[in-house]
Amino acid sequence: MKKLSIGLVGSGFMGRAHAQAFRAVGGLFDLPFEPVLDLLAERDEATAADAAARLGFRRHCGDWRRLVEDPEIDVVAITTPNRLHAPIALAAIAAGKHVYCEKPLATTLEDARAMAAAAEATGVVTLVGFNYLKNPMIALARELVAGGEIGEVTGFRGIHAEDFMADPLAPFTWRCEADNAGGALADIGSHILSLATYLAGDIRSVSGRLHTVHGRRPAAAGSAEMREVRVDDQAHALVEFANGATGSVTASWIAQGRKMQLAFELVGTRGSIAFTQERFNELWLYQAGGAPGRSGYRLVTAGPEHADYAAFCPAPGHQLGFNDLKTIEVKALIEAIAGKAPAYPDFRAACELERVAEAIHRSSAERRWVDVAEV
């Protein structure tokens, strides 16, 4: 079996998730290539050496440029702060590497477009880390929609709410800088936008409102010095889909008590689907036509008959976890490199999500509906 040499940039939470997924995927799925944890890059040599030893990489370096230029590397996986996505990805594409980049694709639409255009010009495979799309229950929801089992889609109501920035005294971080992160809409709202478009189709127009609740935060933990925050803590948007359906999306990282409320209700003319990532091995399905007093939502529990679940467990109800979704995502990347199926979402699809987010920003600033085609 041909080996696929993996270069990982970054070793934080997402870097560890990538490393684990690349280690696990070959033992779960029949693959056309064997991924090899080859080279890890971090901000300096000492950090890189420690991370490489912990995560199982055979080499390390203190500069991502060395990794990108290394002739042995086939795939560059990017798990850095958002502002570094564009320069690393563009350099990797120029070097002929396939690129697996965490979301959001970039901190500006201009960068996202440049990344998508570069990938298309060279023909390298790209994949963006919207791993919640790889949930077997989301695959089931898409199948239900495509099969007409809930009728014509008429509405989508979605939210991504967490509380990791809810404390007004939580210190200023890179997430609070527009050039580094872009706010709640860009950081976590991109996930609910990805689900909306994956299930209900392209978004045609938006009416958005961004809100910065905590306009100043301590410069560091316990510091009396305060820094101004210029990004949104929460975002709300009415949306119109290309097929005529309407709905709403909400993103908040100050939602007290919410840890991972990535949730939606998808409504059709003959039924509806409800889901939350906090119970992501379950899907609630309603189909019209039941007897009076006997109709309602029914619970569908994830099991081996659903996409990719069986690779992890032969019995239903035993639960997949976050890192399992990342492993499914890595499988999709490797199959795309082998030409078995297109990668989704690739840089072009992720760029379209950036266009929607930019339209919401523009709508909020100009207090009007904005067509995504304007952006």
Q: Is the pLDDT of residue 181 over 90?
A: no
- For 290-316, the pLDDT digits (tens) are 888 888 999 999 999 999 999 999 999
Residue 199: the pLDDT is: 98
- For 51-109, the pLDDT digits (tens) are 999 999 999 999 999 999 999 999 999 999 999 999 999 999 999 999 999 999 999 99
User: In degrees rounded to 5, what are phi and psi of residue 182?
Assistant: 105, 0
121 Cβ neighbours under 8 A, 6+ residues apart: none
Q: For residues 73 and 92, give the distance between their C-alpha atoms in angstroms, rounded to a whole number.
A: 10
C-beta separation of 335 from 123 below 8 A = no
Q: For residues 284 and 237, give the distance between their C-alpha atoms in angstroms, rounded to a whole number.
A: 24
C-beta separation of 180 from 83 below 8 A = yes
182 confidence band (pLDDT: 50, 70, 90): confident
Burial class of 126 by CB neighbour count within 10 A (0 to 12, 13 to 18, 19+): buried
Q: Using a pLDDT cut of 70, give the percent of the chain over it.
A: 100
Q: Is the pLDDT of residue 209 over 80?
A: yes
Fold observed for domain 133-320+345-366 = Dihydrodipicolinate Reductase; domain 2 (3.30.360)
Q: For residues 254 and 208, give the distance between their C-alpha atoms in angstroms, rounded to a whole number.
A: 18
Residue 292: the pLDDT is: 84
Residue 46: the pLDDT is: 98
Q: Is the pLDDT of residue 1 over 90?
A: no
Cα 323–chain centre separation? 13
pTM: 0.95
- For 220-279, the pLDDT digits (tens) are 999 999 999 999 999 999 999 999 999 999 999 999 999 999 999 999 999 999 999 999
C-beta separation of 124 from 101 below 8 A = no
Domains of the chain by residue range: 2-132, 133-320+345-366
Q: What is the mean pLDDT of residues 160-187?
A: 91
Residue 83: the pLDDT is: 92
C-beta separation of 326 from 77 below 8 A = no
Homologous superfamily (CATH) of 2-132 is: NAD(P)-binding Rossmann-like Domain (3.40.50.720)
